Amino acid sequence: MRPFVLLLSLLLPGPLLAANALPAAAAVDAEMQRLMRATRAEGLALAVIDNGKVVQVHALGKRNAAGDPLTPDTVMYAASLTKAAFAYMVLQLVDEGMIDLDRPITAYLDRPLPEYPDEKKYAPWSTLKDDPRWQQLTARMLLSHRSGFSNFAFLEPEGKLRIHFDPGTRYAYSGEGLILLQFVLERGLGLDVGKEMQRRVFDRFGMSRTSMMWRADFADNLADGWTADGSTEPHDERSRVRAAGSMDTTPHDIARLAAGLVRGEGLSPASRSEMVRAQWPITTASQFPTLQDELPPERRRRDLAAGLGVVVFDGPQGHGFYKGGHDDAVGNTMLCVERGQRCVVILGNDVRAEAAFPALVRFVLGETGTPWTWEYGSKAFVR
């Protein structure tokens, strides 16, 4: 099947081009094909950002079991890449004085959190009634995964949300923390997070086929997924806005988002700095399981930390940030290095493609120091 490839532009100063030239579109295409064969992935899209501009967008393979082609405008599930977009939106609210990163969330609510009635859209806050530590939570803690929650309440015994450690004292990945911040914005500030994301993020960057909920016009060019055993899984038509991961997007659109994030467009210098600053060290061997024991100090990666909505690191090319996103049938990653404002964004509608992510990023950007083993644990990667 012939891939759809869009090469927009590649404009670099002469000396930088000679020393650090990105591979040509045809070479990236060929490497993607090679790694798809190696992983047996059915569909894969990749975008390249340089100097804060989208310079290449590729889409190869199939978008569904019928064999329809994956294209740069195919709607794909972004999964937890949503968290980075949500954090970017929240930081705009910080710039406007609507919310303070360090003010306890209780200041924005008209009653104690556990007194709100349980709603399917959110976690059961009522189960926190005997643990006053929820009052310590701030937006900064929630965006940097230091809430003390597990990833989601439904993973807990009897689905009861619990605080497992004092808020703010360690990193443990939690989608529920982002959902709580969404709750604060919606119930405390009276905002509609879906509309705010549309206005402040998607419209700003011209992301015309991106949404926090299902849209009927997505159906004409939509990606299903493939699981690890090669079976297909239909695209989930999400009916609720979920800050932790409901965003649908396209290769074109997610590339525009990454370019905007690495440029810092739409944020004050202070808020952009906060997003990609090391907020708190990450002290576990891997991201999942989320509540695993911390490593002894001598075994921790000292350049790995939580940012706001992203993970930050330092490597051979200097400071970088990234965010992954996956479920049983989707694998995504967005990786940016500050020097040269360069990014690679990968959307895979086949979870088997994740095994190729380190090789693909290395092929495009060279060695970045991205913490792949922390992100994916013991997964075997192809070369």
What pLDDT, on a 0 to 100 scale, did the predictor assign at position 14?
36
| The predicted structure's pLDDT at residue 5 | 43
Compute the distance between CA of residue 313 and CA of residue 281 in angstroms, rounded to an integer.
Answer: 10
Mean pLDDT for 36-40 is: 98
Say yes or no to pLDDT of 3 above 60: no
For 287, residues 6+ apart whose C-beta sits below 8 A from its C-beta are 173, 324, 374, 375, 377
Of 13-22, 62-71, 87-96, 284-293, give the lowest mean pLDDT range.
13-22
Local confidence band at 16 (pLDDT 50, 70, 90 cut-offs): very low
Here the tokens at position 138 are 């701030």
Averaged pLDDT of the chain: 95
> What DSSP line would sit under 156-174, residue for residue?
SGGG-----S-TTSS----
- In contact, 167 and 146? CB cutoff 8 Å: yes
Dihedral angle, C-alpha 255, 261, 263, 266, nearest 10 °: 120
How far apart are the C-alpha atoms of 39 and 124, rounded to whole Å? 40
**How does pLDDT run across 113-129, given as a tens digit for each residue?**
999 999 999 999 999 99
Q: Quick one: angle between helices 357-365 and 25-39, nearest 10?
A: 160
Token pair 């009276």 is found at: 190
Q: How confident is the model at residue 10 (pLDDT cuts 50, 70, 90)?
A: very low
Rounded distance between C-alpha atoms, residue 78 and residue 70, angstroms: 15
Directed axis angle between helix 175-183 and helix 81-95, to 10°? 40
DSSP track, 282-315: --SSSSSSTTPPPPPGGGS-TTEEE-SSSEEEEE
What phi, psi does 119 have (nearest 5°)? Answer: -130, 145
Give the pLDDT band (50/70/90) at residue 11: very low
What is the pLDDT, as a whole number, of residue 19? 36
State residue 20's pLDDT score. 79
Confidence of residue 58 (pLDDT cuts 50, 70, 90): very high
Q: Which band of pLDDT confidence, cut at 50, 70 and 90, is reported for residue 219? A: very high
Contact 166, 179 (CB under 8 A): no
Taking only the tens place, the pLDDT of each residue in 230-276 is 999 999 999 999 999 999 999 999 999 999 999 999 999 999 999 99
pLDDT tens digits along 129-186: 999 999 999 999 999 999 999 999 999 999 999 999 999 999 999 999 999 999 999 9
User: What pLDDT, on the 0 to 100 scale, is given for residue 12?
Assistant: 38
Q: Quickly count: other Cβ atoms within 10 Å of residue 214's Cβ.
A: 17
Q: What is the mean pLDDT of the segment spanning 309-322?
A: 98
Q: What is the pLDDT of residue 368?
A: 98
Q: Decide: 260 and 204 in contact? Cβ < 8 Å.
A: yes
- pLDDT tens sequence across 43-55: 999 999 999 999 9
pLDDT in tens, 84-119: 999 999 999 999 999 999 999 999 999 999 999 999
